[in-house]
A = this chain, B = another copy of it.
């Protein structure tokens, strides 16, 4: 079961923060349970898939699109704070909400909520859920933090190996050239000596030829 708790302000009591809890199975469009509390009383209601479809039809909106609007209004609280306006009549339990665009607002949906006989239990359950979510996120944070530290170590290690490899490559190149120069120059010396010898012998040969 997925669940989301968000803060809302009712048009009728703008100074009192209310908490809206929406919980649903697989998808929001397959129906959800909505709970409203002001920290003292609580009201709850179930919205079925067919009611959602009905609302979408009434607004001549594609069901997917309508569910998306519901999600933005009731779950993710997307957009600027005053994008959505919530009204709740505590006597009748009638809950409605509308989307406020620049200069026009239109009704997005309404449900009837029942007052909860023992609100303390609902409120405790809601606080427990919030605390469990905090604990869960904290654990995730610690895990990610450790993951980050490990990745940072791995990155530094790879970076270090790369830098070592670059300098090893430069050293190798210099070193091989130096060795090669030594060996090559030996050959050049040999060639110079042979050339010199050959010239001497040919000189000698010429003189001998001349003598003869």
Interface residues of A (CB under 8 A from B): 5-7, 16-17, 19, 38-40, 119-124, 126-128, 130-131, 133-134, 137-138, 140-141, 144-145, 147-148, 151-152, 154-155, 158-159, 161-162, 165-166, 168-169, 172-173, 176-177, 180, 183-184, 187-188, 190-191, 194-195, 197-198, 201-202, 204-205, 208-209, 211-212
State the CA gap A39–B169 with chains docked (Å).
Answer: 69
State the CA gap A52–B193 with chains docked (Å).
Answer: 99
Nearest B residue to A147, CB-CB? B148
Name 17 extra pairs, CB < 8 A, besides A38-B124, A123-B123, A137-B141. A5-B127, A39-B120, A39-B124, A40-B40, A127-B127, A137-B140, A144-B145, A155-B158, A158-B162, A162-B162, A169-B172, A172-B173, A173-B176, A187-B190, A191-B194, A197-B198, A212-B212
4 nearest interchain CB pairs? Answer: A137-B137, A40-B120, A130-B130, A39-B124
Min Cβ gap A147→B in Å is 6
**Which B residues are in CB contact (< 8 Å) with A16?**
124
**Given A38-B124, A162-B162: A198 in contact with B208 (beta carbons within 8 A):** no
Q: Are B120 and A38 in contact (CB under 8 A)?
A: yes
A selection of 6 A-B contacts at a CB cut-off of 8 Å is A5-B131, A40-B119, A40-B123, A176-B180, A183-B184, A208-B208
Min Cβ gap A177→B in Å is 8
**Which B residues are in CB contact (< 8 Å) with A154?**
155
Nearest B residue to A6, CB-CB? B131
**Which B residues are in CB contact (< 8 Å) with A201?**
198, 201-202, 205
State the CA gap A16–B123 with chains docked (Å).
Answer: 12
**Which B residues are in CB contact (< 8 Å) with A169?**
165, 168-169, 172
